[in-house]
Amino acid sequence: MIELERRISGDWIDLREAGKDQYTLIEYLGFSSQDLGRLAEELRGAVEEGLIEYKDMILRRAFITLEAVQFQSVRFEELQAREQPMKDLVFIVLMQRLLCTGVIPLPKSKEGEGLSPDELDVNGVLAEIRNRIRRDPNFQKHPAVKNIFVQVALYQKEKKKMEELLPMIKADKKEVFRVNFGATFKRIFDSIKKNYSDLLKEEESRRLAKENKRDLLHRVPLKDLAPFLQNQAQHVCHLCSTLTYAREDKYKTRGILVDLFKQKEEYFKRIESEQRVYRSLCAEIGLIGTSDCPIRLNYRLRDELIHALERISKVEEKP
């Protein structure tokens, strides 16, 4: 049993160190880009209870095998078949922890894209601005709108100057005259279009920022979940290390596995208590009375893990 305890302790120390960032963890566990894609699909299939469903499913299968050991001789092939799912589970728990601690960043509000100035028509821009001012007079106070009207006034001034000077210009000089004023008008139009494009980008950025504020992952104190997940990962690692040791050592295997099965309720309580932790996080942001907040948080964490796995799998595919 001393050797088993050393194995459990050593495996956890190594895993804990590797779990400080996602890439070291992936390398330590030997996951390929295909493995990451597979895990993303498995998480996507947990449609009933999200992450909790996924964790419960893997543990349940492992303990079905351990229960059979109570009544019959162990088949080492069956033990080996449970090792990879347990590795998957401890990986997902540690990835969830990295997400909660910010090592894997949450999606941030993107910069508004708006339209390229080259795509804009000056007459269309001015018509839209006037329509918006009619709907909301305060709109004309926006700096970009003020700049646009400054440019409109400048255009009118330059156009009037051109019309006054044109009759006095000699015929052989008129083409150069028109080119010079054409360049001035282009600068004015470019400024109008750029100001309007910047205005659209600013509005889009504000819209995206509001969406982020409504996202539970940006609202709840996710770092408070990290210690719970660290403890959960340690216990999954304990289970995984014991299964591997029993298969490799083949000495007093049945006794080791029987003792492990006796801890079944303790393992499932740790999974069930995750929902209580979610409720506590929701309470911290005043959503304790919103019954679906813990459920939505569970699904958002699952979805963001799927996105993270898919992003990383694409990086891992590159030569």
Place of tokens 């209580």: 276
pTM comes to 0.68
Is residue 188 domain-shared with residue 242, that is, in the same domain?
no
Q: Which residues of 198-211 are buried (b: 16+ CB within 10 A; e: fewer)?
A: bbbbbebbeebeee
**Same-domain pairing of 159 and 243:** no
- Given 214, 236, 262, the domain boundary residue is 214
Q: Are residues 103 and 225 in the same domain?
A: yes
- Asked if residue 128 and residue 91 are part of one domain, the reply reads no
Range of the domain at 197: 117-214
- Among 214, 240, 259, residue at a domain's last position: 214
**Which pLDDT score, from 0 to 100, does residue 204 have?**
74
Within this chain, do residues 85 and 234 fall inside the same structural domain, yes or no?
yes
Q: At what angle do helices 50-69 and 293-317 cross, to 10 degrees?
A: 80
Q: Are residues 160 and 207 in the same domain?
A: yes
Our count of domains for the chain comes to 2
Alpha helices (H) along the chain? 2-18, 22-29, 33-44, 50-69, 76-101, 122-135, 143-165, 174-214, 216-219, 226-249, 253-261, 264-284, 293-317
Task: Write out the two tokens for 317.
Answer: 């595919």
CA dist 226 and 319 (Å) reads: 33
Eight-state DSSP code of residue 144: H
d(CA 67, CA 260) in angstroms, rounded, equals 10
Copy the structure tokens of residue 200.
């659209």
**116's tokens:** 């390229």
The pLDDT of residue 200:
84
Q: How many residues are given for the chain? A: 319
- As a whole number of angstroms, the distance between CA 59 and CA 263 comes to 12
**Residuewise pLDDT in 10s, the chain (319 residues):** 788 889 999 999 999 999 999 999 999 999 999 999 999 999 999 888 889 999 999 999 888 888 887 777 766 677 778 889 999 999 999 999 999 999 998 876 444 455 566 677 888 889 888 998 999 999 889 999 999 999 999 989 988 888 888 888 888 888 888 888 889 988 999 999 899 888 888 877 676 656 555 678 888 899 999 999 999 999 999 999 988 888 877 667 778 888 888 888 888 888 889 989 998 998 888 876 556 888 889 999 999 999 999 999 887 665 5
What is the pLDDT, as a whole number, of residue 110? 47
Same domain assignment for residues 226 and 90 = yes
Residues 295 and 261 in one domain: yes
Candidates 68, 60, 47; CA nearest to 86 is 60
Q: Mark whether 18 and 150 lie in a shared domain.
A: no
Range 258-293 burial, b when 16+ CB lie within 10 A, else e? eebbeeeeebeebbeebeebbbbbbeeeebeeeeeb
**Residue entry with tokens 């001789």:** 73
Half-sphere CA count of 254, side-chain side, radius 13 A: 8
Q: Are residues 106 and 10 in the same domain?
A: yes
Do 167 and 303 have their domain in common? Answer: no
Q: Tokens 């839209």 — which residue?
A: 128
Q: Of 166, 188, 214, which closes a domain?
A: 214
Among 42, 90, 85, 34, CA closest to 237: 90
What pLDDT is stored for residue 70 in this prediction?
74
Find out whether 282 and 289 touch, Cβ atoms under 8 Å: no
Distance between CA atoms of 309 and 38, rounded to whole angstroms? 9
Q: What is the DSSP code (8-state) at residue 116?
A: -
- Are 56 and 93 within one domain? yes
Decide: 281 and 295 in contact? Cβ < 8 Å.
no
Contact (Cβ atoms closer than 8 angstroms) between residue 247 and residue 76? yes
Query: Tell me, what's the pLDDT at 25?
Result: 96
